[in-house]
Structure 1
Amino acid sequence: MNKFNSIIAIALLAITFTSCKKDNEEPIVVAPPSDGSTLTLNGLIAAEAGSAAGNSVFVDFSTDKQTSVARASWDLGFYGGSDFRVILNNTTAAGAKVITTTNASLATVGEADTLGLTLAVSQASPANTDFAYFDAISGNLSNTVIPTVSATAADNKIIILNRGTGGSISAKSWIKLKVTRNTSGGYTLQYGKIKETTNFTTVDVPKDGNFNFKFVSLTNGAIVSAEPENSNWDITWTYSVYQTTFNGVIVPYNFSDLVFLNSLNGVTAGVVATSTVSYADFKEANISAVTFKTNRDAIGSSWRSTSPATGVKTDSFYVIKDGAGNYYKLKFISMGAGDSGTRGKPVIEYKLIKKGA
């Protein structure tokens, strides 16, 4: 009986201790999403022209936070999701080509393989065929220049990369590279300058599901921070390869002032004409009439005009649904001479209209 009573006493003591521990634990506080704000985006690094602003700027509406990242600070992005994909730096207009020659290696690929290649956008005479040099502007990861990284190392090809000079970025050495999967579940990158035959750099890049991509600078082989965690941004404002119509044909073209969505984290956007409902009057009840698009360039360049003077368009605004299900209405206030703004430092305003569940 004494043994039984001892067991009961110990059990009661354990329950009491657990209860006390729970009572003393700090509660997890989840900050509510921001009601909205007005932000001046910091696209300028120094005294560069606003049309060639050196930064990409990431914005998180729910925390009123902006993060500026130098466009030229990275060269390749390695996908953190289930697929094995590598992206080029569209914000420097980097272009690449896959070398399909049998048994090609980093040692055997050289300057001769670059003859006739530009791997760049021609602003004067762009051609539709040049799209082959660049990753899909929609952000579709099934349409990257570098193919899916195969689990069979020998199946992965050598890539020639022009690191890009878009938006007054200084020219850098062309690179040859190869990406394989490693035993840790991430990527292994090997690369060297186009003339190099023996001195190659190797970088292991881990997958991290908290980020859309992990980024590498080929200047020093370092893994660098080039965008916030995937749940901590909604849109990015930047210079980038985009598209336009030239002689009746859609061609790649370098654009300033582009706005892209964090589509990989489920951010979507819809446009609202002010002739239908004003920004001030748009409320939760109006959301059902909005058609949301999932593509990364759902906003793109549609928010601004460069003729007759550079400035924001006032005939529309946008509704953004973030990855947490919060809905914000977004309008652009100023960005250039046509609206008394500063090129490279656009001003935006956004308001919460429906909180996520």
Structure 2
Amino acid sequence: MLSGCLAEDTPLQLPPPGPEETFQADLGSGYGDQVYFDFSTGQATVRDRESWDLGFYCGPDSFYVVLNGAKRMYAADPQTEDFASVTSRAGLAFRPDPPSGLLDSTVLGRWWTRATDAPVFVIDRGQKTSGLPIGTKKIQLRRAGHQVVLRYADLNGAGEDSLRITQDPLYNLMFFSFEDGGQLVEVEPPKTDWDVVFTTYTHIFEDQPDPAFRFYLVNGVLLNRHATVATDSIPARQQPFASLTLEQVPAYAFTAQLDVIGFDWKTFDMATNQYTVHDDWSYLVRTAENHYYKLQFLSFYNDAGDRGYPLIRYQRL
């Protein structure tokens, strides 16, 4: 009897899609810049990719340290806490952090959980935009409550100094540069103010035995590790960009892997020395605001024919 008095279910009304928009990132001369982009505002923040070396994670109860993959940085673990005893790169195995962003797979890993109180690492600072090597440092890390004490110097001990780094929960990372004696620098916007970054980064080609080709600088897009997730490429034969809708989102698998969009939305032709963009591929992105966007790459060149200007089309679903 009561069922006859209940109101009929109201159909769920999906929000209307946003307007279709475009954005072109300018990676600068020699791909020297990193461009942080926010889909909801269309705003971009540009940073020099050489401006930082180490990123100190601001997540709760974690003290990960990441390398600047945009400079092809490496690190090695000499398995000691004797800072003075580390004076050479000889015999050390250097490797980069994975571009996936998996923190437990970083070279320095969960250093604060080791039996040794203050492990030492050797840092290859990678290369300048020009390709010239930057140099080598040694560091020692020590946890002090919710802070990290960073000790650093040249391998011969010159320029030794230390810095206490405090986590800021408004950011993914606190960024440190060895330049000018060592200092914290501003790089990423607050973690809720951007979604993806257009950047050079180090990709690992697992099938290449030569480190010069195995650890290779590429130009692509990485996700914001805070809350952004995305799909791998969706070919037009599977679903054209124009017909991707919010109702279709559950059919696709999303991942927090930072390089899921990556660099292979374009290919390089050695014969013509030109990049070709797969403009028939689409991607879905879910932002920290829980909004879904579809995006498509249209070009890697500006109107003057200069490379390093990825152009995307995007729309909120």
Residue 198 of structure 2 aligns with an amino acid whose one-letter code is W
The CA deviation string for residues 200-248 of structure 1, in whole angstroms up to 9 with x for no partner, is 1111111011111000001121111111111111111111110236469
Question: Partner letter of residue 342 of structure 1?
Answer: D
Matches of 2:217 and 2:209, distance apart in 1: 18
Query: Sequence identity, in percent?
Result: 27
What is the CA–CA distance in structure 1 between the aligned matches of 2:52 and 2:316, rounded to whole Å? 33
SS across alignment from 1:239: strand
Q: How does 1:125-274 map to 2 (within 5 A)?
A: 133-150=95-112, 154-165=116-127, 167-183=129-145, 185-196=146-157, 199-220=159-180, 221-244=182-205, 246=207, 252-274=214-236
Rounded Cα–Cα distance in structure 2 between residues aligned with 1:171 and 1:255: 14
Instruction: Say which of 79, 91, 97 aligns to 2:76.
Output: 97
Give the deviation of 1:165 after TM superposition: 1.0
Unaligned 5+ residue runs, structure 2? 1-16
1:40 match: 24
Pairs within 5 Å for 1:206-355:
206-220=166-180, 221-244=182-205, 246=207, 252-307=214-269, 309-336=274-301, 342-353=306-317
**TM-aligned CA distance change 1:247 to 1:238, over 3 Å:** closer
Cα distance in 1 for partners of 2:68, 2:245 equals: 38
Alignment partners' CA distance in 1, 2:100 and 2:214: 12
Quickly say closer, same or farther: Cα 1:66–1:291, change in 2 above 3 A: same
Match of 1:129? none
Following superposition, the deviation at residue 34 of structure 1 comes to: 6.9
TM-score, normalising length from structure 1? 0.75
On the 8 A contact 2:86/2:155 being kept in 1, the answer is yes
Taking the aligned partners of 1:147 and 1:276, their CA distance within structure 2 comes to 39
Letter in 2 for 1:293: T
SS of the residue corresponding to residue 61 of structure 1 reads coil
Q: Equivalents in 1 of 2:295, 2:256: separation in Å?
A: 16
- Give the Cα separation in 2 of the matches to 1:96 and 1:225: 22
Supply the AA of the counterpart residue of 1:196.
G
In our comparison, the structure showing a higher alpha carbon Rg is 1
Larger mean Cα displacement after TM superposition, 311-320 or 250-259? 250-259
1:54 to 10, 24, 32: 32
Aligned 8 A contact 1:76 1:88 in 2: yes
| Counterpart code for 1:352 | R
Judged with a 3 Å threshold, the aligned counterparts in structure 2 of structure 1 residues 34 and 190 are, in CA distance, closer, same or farther, namely: farther
Does the residue aligned with 1:344 lie in a helix, a strand or coil? strand
The letter for the 1-side match of 2:84 is A
Question: Aligned partners of 1:247 and 1:190: how far apart in 2?
Answer: 35
Letter in 2 for 1:323: A
Q: Contact (CA 8 Å) 1:79, 1:214: kept in 2 or not?
A: yes
Instruction: Tell me how far 1:35 sits from its aligned partner.
Output: 4.3
Unpaired segments ≥5 residues, structure 1: 1-32, 120-132
Report how many aligned residue pairs link the two structures. Answer: 295
Q: Give the whole-Å Cα distance in 1 for the aligned partners of 2:172 and 2:258.
A: 13
